Amino acid sequence: MQIRLQYDDGVLADIGDIRRVEREITGMFSDPVVRRRLADDPYGAYQIDGRVNPMAIAREFVRKPVDVDALTLVLTGYDLAPPKLNYSYGATWKGVVSVVSTHRMGGSALKTAIVGLHELLHQIGLVGESQPQYDHRAGFDGHCRNRCLMRAVNGPSDMEAVVADWRRGIKLCGQCAGI
């Protein structure tokens, strides 16, 4: 499988070097990563006050034929404003595309990579409702209830906890890693 990593210029302004993101993704997926810089502010047309509904980006991919041999991760510098939420670090349409914003990453390529991996793993089906680690609490659905990369990240304190765990080598829990 190939990981397609697409990014706009806002990402470069936010985190500088994209290669750290690429390295972390390769470290977990061990699949080839193909990087593509998107010229001419491709998502500018969707922005309202600097914020973009990630569904607007996803729609571009929904129309395309699905490539079963590739996963696409779109990074954008625009803040993500999904319906009914104040903001989101990332969003995924299963089997289609993942979108991650660098806007709230505080310049950190590592945070961007961690959220990117979380979203890519959603794209391939983590965490499914039939799996024992599935978190059934409202607002956490689709996530893991263990101390795990796939737990819900609902704000800066959750984000700091996941990053701190990552630095300690706590990434996927055994149940998620076994899938």
Residues 134 and 75: their CA atoms lie apart, in Å, by 27
Closest distance between Zn ion and the C-beta of residue 8, in Å?
22
Closest distance between Zn ion and the C-beta of residue 39, in Å?
29
Q: What's the 3-state SS for 37-105?
A: ECCCCCCHHHCECCEECHHHHHHHHHCCCCCCCEEEEEEECCEECCCCCCCECEEEECCCEEEEECCCC
**Which residues of the shown chain bind Zn ion in the complex (CB under 5 A)?**
133, 144, 146, 148, 150, 173, 176
Identify residue 145 by its one-letter amino acid code: R
Answer for the pair 89, 122: CB distance below 8 angstroms, yes or no.
no
Closest distance between Zn ion and the C-beta of residue 128, in Å?
11
Residues 179 and 177: their CA atoms lie apart, in Å, by 6
Q: Which is nearer to Zn ion, 2 or 131 (CB)?
A: 131
Closest distance between Zn ion and the C-beta of residue 92, in Å?
7
Q: Which is nearer to Zn ion, 12 or 179 (CB)?
A: 179
Q: Which is nearer to Zn ion, 103 or 171 (CB)?
A: 171
Q: Which is nearer to Zn ion, 69 or 157 (CB)?
A: 157
Q: What single DSSP character describes residue 108?
A: -
Closest distance between Zn ion and the C-beta of residue 172, in Å?
6
State the Cα angle at 127 between 179 and 157, rounded to 5°: 120
Q: Which is nearer to Zn ion, 114 or 144 (CB)?
A: 144
